[in-house]
Amino acid sequence: MILIAAILDWGAHVTLSDALAIAGLLLAWQQHRKAVSAKHLVNEARSSMLKQKAMQHFDHLSHKAGALAAAVRSKDWNQVAEVATTLGGMVSSASGFCDQLMLGDEKGSLDMAANGVKFILDQTPLDEQAVPQETVHQMISQCTLIVYAVERIGGRMQYLNDLDDQAKVDVRHNKGLLMLGIGSKKKDEESNG
């Protein structure tokens, strides 16, 4: 407003350089708005990709936890050692890159899952030794806790990803309606008038 008032006060004294300066300011403002908008879109895309990657990671964790439980039940100790080692690394990785998406109690659940994997690795025999049945039952119990923890967190990651997808659909739907003229103020006024 101040800029417009200043222009009107100059009246006929506006020179070409004044007009170019004003046009330059308007162009700079428009470019600034585009840059802010683009930065916002990039941040949304990054957030969406992080949610999708977290969901996929917990899906893989869930499959590995199930494979570990199956290996413990069948007492295939070489397979138990291999899957538990891989699962331990995946749990550690998840606690790192999903940290900002997880809630406090989910972090605790993931720590519990990591401790369960450690327990299983500690109880896994290095060679063909017999493992007491009580230890096998404890290992199976730990597998169950690992599966529950990973599935719970993975379910919420799926929910976050689905919310993100639904928000994108809603935005596209609303833009489509506005392009068609449905839901605009002009249409509403015509229908009320």
> For the residues of 133-144, what is the DSSP string, one character each?
HHHHHHHHHHHH
Q: What is the pLDDT of residues 133-179, one digit of tens each?
A: 999 999 999 999 999 999 988 888 888 888 877 766 666 656 665 66
Q: Who contacts 118 (Cβ-Cβ below 8 Å, separation ≥6)?
A: 88
d(CA 163, CA 47): 12
Mean pLDDT of 42-65: 85
Collapse the DSSP code of 21 into the 3-class scheme (helix H, G, I; strand E, B; otherwise coil) and give the result: helix
Residue with tokens 């407003």: 1
What percent of the chain lies above the pLDDT cut of 90? 31
Helix 104-123, helix 133-180: angle, nearest 10: 150
HSE toward the beta carbon, residue 6, CA cutoff 13 A = 6
Q: Who contacts 7 (Cβ-Cβ below 8 Å, separation ≥6)?
A: 14, 18, 22
Fold of 47-192: Four Helix Bundle (Hemerythrin (Met), subunit A) (1.20.120)
Residue type, 67: A
Q: Which two tokens stand for residue 163?
A: 């919310």
Whole-Å CA distances, 25 to 12, 37, 41, 118, 181: 20, 18, 24, 63, 33
| Of 130 and 187, more confident | 130
Instruction: Please state the domain extents for the chain.
Output: 47-192
Centre a 10 Å sphere on the Cβ of residue 78 and count the other Cβ atoms it contains: 12
In this prediction, residue 130 carries a pLDDT of 86
In this prediction, residue 139 carries a pLDDT of 94
- Going by C-alpha positions, the residue among 86, 97, 15 that lies closest to residue 56 is 97
As a whole number, the mean pLDDT across the chain is: 80
The reply to whether the predicted model has a pTM over 0.85 is no
Mean pLDDT of 66-82: 93
Q: What is the pLDDT of residues 94-112, one digit of tens each?
A: 888 778 788 888 888 889 9
Q: Which two tokens stand for residue 114?
A: 């990591």
d(CA 139, CA 126): 16
